């Protein structure tokens, strides 16, 4: 039996610049995001089955004779990629509801990375974080035709708080955010996250975003430059820049595609700002899911009052990426 544990993620800055159509042709030379792994996880259990059938358990329960019959698309493609076609059980659990796809925390990519990690370990193979991320990208983008970027797969494979650079030549640079422990604690102490109460299918939003990359290239360049500016500010302990840049880049992100925001989200954001939040954003593609906010400590009680109708979700940064936590 093998159990893998893979974090979800919150992307702070640079989302959209991780699309291949952007970073391969970027005049800057790369796309870039600043992203953190969260202490919220996806768990995959893999076990040898007594017979030759394949059993897959999530919010559904499948028992099939052949890998091609598996309906869960990511698990099916991961089994195929690792060459496992019979005699196995795969069980998928998570710290968020499995029906909560579309919450902006990269649960699909965490599943892809986590199931690949578990299946490789089942075969006695160690696979590096970069290899896991690239295999997950291949499954989601090439095999399943998802029109998405590649930041999520890397963020959940590596863990921690990092700046990722997606270079013209296809290489990916991973640079941990270096800052004093005091600054890190202060940063986390000023971040708040609330659930909008809504989930959404991000595919339409991401497809429109992908279709219009060329006309939004200047905005994406701006977001990439913001990542580098914030990365340097964190190293210097200049935290208030985070809030103002979250607000500024959220205004840009809302222009990327219809559905990124809506009247409910706009109202929610204005309530947070009225309570004292300096800035924030909807995580992921937009349209629902979780709202991340930067709020000075002395304003957090007021923000909780103005946001009383929404569920607050405390979080920490998980320093580890996808890992095997049990093997027998």
| In the chain, alpha helices (H) | 20-23, 73-82, 107-122, 129-137, 151-158, 181-189, 203-211, 217-236, 240-253, 263-275, 300-306
pLDDT at 288: 79
Number of structural domains in the chain = 2
Same domain, 302 and 186: yes
User: If DSSP codes are grouped into helix, strand and coil, which group holds residue 4?
Assistant: strand
What is the DSSP annotation of 59-121? SSEEEESSGGG---HHHHHHHHHHT--SSEEEEEEESS-TT---SSS-HHHHHHHHHHHHHHH
Per DSSP, 309 falls in state: T
Please check whether residue 172 is in contact with residue 154, taking contact to mean a CB–CB distance below 8 angstroms: yes
Per-residue model confidence as pLDDT tens for the chain (328 residues): 999 999 999 999 999 999 999 999 999 999 999 999 999 999 999 999 999 999 999 998 999 999 999 999 999 999 999 999 999 999 999 998 765 556 789 999 999 999 999 999 999 999 999 999 999 999 999 999 998 999 999 999 999 999 999 999 999 999 999 999 999 999 999 999 999 987 655 555 556 556 667 778 999 999 999 999 999 999 999 998 999 999 999 999 888 766 678 899 999 999 999 999 999 999 986 677 899 999 999 999 999 999 999 999 999 999 999 999 999 9
| Residue 80 lies in domain | 2-178
CATH number of the domain encompassing residue 89: 3.30.230.10
- How high is the pLDDT of residue 39? 97
Q: How far apart, in Å, do the first and last CA atoms of the chain sit?
A: 5
The residue from 145, 178, 211 where one domain ends is 178
Q: What is the pTM of this model?
A: 0.94
Determine the pLDDT at residue 104: 86
The alpha carbon torsion through 175, 158, 39, 303 (nearest 10 deg) reads 40
Closest to 315 measured CA to CA, from 110, 37, 11, 93: 37
Q: Are strands 323-327 and 2-13 parallel, antiparallel or unpaired?
A: antiparallel
Query: Quick one: 146 and 192 in the same domain?
Result: no
Residue 295 covered by a domain:
yes
């Amino acid at each position: 039996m093998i159990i893998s544990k893979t974090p979800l993620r919150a992307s702070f800055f640079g989302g959209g610049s991780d699309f291949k159509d952007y970073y391969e042709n970027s005049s800057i030379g790369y796309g870039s995001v600043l992203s953190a792994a969260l202490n919220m996880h996806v768990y995959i259990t893999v076990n040898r089955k007594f017979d030759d059938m394949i059993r897959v358990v999530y919010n559904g329960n499948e028992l099939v004779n052949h890998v091609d019959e598996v309906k869960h698309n990511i698990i099916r493609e991961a089994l195929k990629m690792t060459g496992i076609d019979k005699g196995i059980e795969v069980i998928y659990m998570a710290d968020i509801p499995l029906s909560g796809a579309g919450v902006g925390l990269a649960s699909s990519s965490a599943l892809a990375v986590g199931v690949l990690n578990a299946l490789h370990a089942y075969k006695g193979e160690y696979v590096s974080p970069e290899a896991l991320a690239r295999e997950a990208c291949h499954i989601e983008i090439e095999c399943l035709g998802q029109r998405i970027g590649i930041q999520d797969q890397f963020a959940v494979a590596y863990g921690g708080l990092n700046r990722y650079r997606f270079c013209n030549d296809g290489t990916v640079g991973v640079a941990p955010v270096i800052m004093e422990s005091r600054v890190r604690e202060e940063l986390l102490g000023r971040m708040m996250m609330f659930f909008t109460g809504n989930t959404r299918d991000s595919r339409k939003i991401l497809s429109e975003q992908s279709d219009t990359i060329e006309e939004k290239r200047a905005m994406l360049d701006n977001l990439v430059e913001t990542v580098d500016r914030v990365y340097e500010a964190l190293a210097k302990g200049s935290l208030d820049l985070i809030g103002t840049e979250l607000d500024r880049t959220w205004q840009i992100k809302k222009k990327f595609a219809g559905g990124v925001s809506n009247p409910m989200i706009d109202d929610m954001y204005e309530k947070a700002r009225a309570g004292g939040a300096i800035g924030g954003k909807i995580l992921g593609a937009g349209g629902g899911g979780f709202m991340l906010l930067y709020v000075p400590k002395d304003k957090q009680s007021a923000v909780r009052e103005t946001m009383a109708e929404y569920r607050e979700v405390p979080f920490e940064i998980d320093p580890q990426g996808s890992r095997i936590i049990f093997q027998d």
